[in-house]
A and B are shown apart, each in its own frame.
Chain A
Amino acid sequence: MYVAVKGGEAAIANAHALLADRRRGDRSVPALRLDQIMEQLGLAVDRAMGEGSLYDRELAALALVQARGDLIEAIFLVRAYRTTLPRFGYSKPVDTGAMLIERRISATFKDLPGGQMLGPTFDYTHRLLDPTIVSDEVPAPVTREAEAAQAPRVTDLLGRQGLMEPDGETDPDREVGDLTREPLDFPLDRDLRLQALARGDEGFLLALGYSTQRGYGRSHPFVGEIRIGEVAVEFDVPELGFAVSLGRIRVTECQMVNQFKGSAKVPPQFTRGYGLVFGQAERKAMAMSLVDRALRAKEFGEDVVAPAQDEEFVISHSDNVQATGFVEHLKLPHYVDFQAELDLIRRMRAEHEAAELKEAAE
Chain B
Amino acid sequence: MTTTAQYNFAYLDEQTKRMIRRAILKAIAIPGYQVPFSSREMPMPYGWGTGGVQVTASIIGPSDVLKVIDQGADDTTNAVSIRAFFAKVAQVQTTTHTGEATIIQTRHRIPERVLGQGQILVYQVPIPEPLRFLEPRETETRKMHALEEYGLMHVKLYEDIARHGRIATTYAYPVKVEGRYVMDPSPTPKFDNPKMHMSEALQLFGAGREHRIYAVPPHTEVVSLDFEDHPFAIQHFEEPCALCGAEQVYLDEVILDDRGGHMYVCSDTDNCESRRAEGHRGALAGHAVEAAE
Interface residues of A (CB under 8 A from B): 1-9, 11-12, 56, 58-59, 62, 76, 79-84, 86, 180-187, 312, 316, 321-322, 324-329, 332-337, 339-344, 348, 351
Instruction: For the complex, give the distance between the alpha carbons of A115 and B131 in Å.
Output: 55
Instruction: For the complex, give the distance between the alpha carbons of A6 and B96 in Å.
Output: 13
Q: Name which residue of chain B comes closest to A323, CB basis.
A: B46
Query: Contact residue range for chain B?
Result: 35 or more
Q: Are A4 and B139 interface neighbours, CB within 8 A?
A: no
Q: Are B48 and A329 interface neighbours, CB within 8 A?
A: yes
Instruction: For the complex, give the distance between the alpha carbons of A327 and B47 in Å.
Output: 8
A80-B170 contact given A333-B76, A340-B190, CB 8 Å threshold: no
A2-B292 contact given A182-B38, A343-B235, CB 8 Å threshold: yes
Q: Please indicate which of the listed interface residues B37, B46, B235, B293 has the most CB atoms of chain A within 10 Å of its own CB.
A: B46
Q: Are A341 and B45 interface neighbours, CB within 8 A?
A: no
Stretch at the interface among B24-32, B55-63, B97-105, B252-260: B252-260
Instruction: For the complex, give the distance between the alpha carbons of A340 and B267 in Å.
Output: 12
A336-B253 contact given A183-B37, A186-B138, A341-B170, CB 8 Å threshold: no
Chain A residues contacting B42 (CB-CB under 8 Å) are 80, 83
Instruction: For the complex, give the distance between the alpha carbons of A329 and B39 in Å.
Output: 18
Q: Please tell me if B109 contacts chain A, counting CB pairs below 8 Å.
A: yes
9 contacts between A and B (CB under 8 A): A2-B265, A8-B75, A8-B80, A80-B41, A180-B38, A183-B36, A186-B137, A324-B45, A343-B170
One of B47, B137, B138, B252 near A335 (C-beta < 8 A): B252
Q: Are B1 and A58 interface neighbours, CB within 8 A?
A: yes
Instruction: For the complex, give the distance between the alpha carbons of A324 and B48 in Å.
Output: 11
Q: Name which residue of chain A comes closest to B192, CB basis.
A: A336
Chain B residues contacting A80 (CB-CB under 8 Å) are 41-43
Q: Name which residue of chain A comes closest to B109, CB basis.
A: A336
- Give, as a whole number of angstroms, the nearest-CB distance from B244 to chain A: 12
One of A185, A324, A329 near B36 (C-beta < 8 A): A185
- Give, as a whole number of angstroms, the nearest-CB distance from B30 to chain A: 16
Q: Are A329 and B45 interface neighbours, CB within 8 A?
A: yes
A340-B170 contact given A6-B75, A186-B139, A348-B164, CB 8 Å threshold: yes
Instruction: For the complex, give the distance between the alpha carbons of A3 and B293 in Å.
Output: 8
Chain B residues contacting A336 (CB-CB under 8 Å) are 71-72, 108-109, 171, 188-189, 250, 252, 267
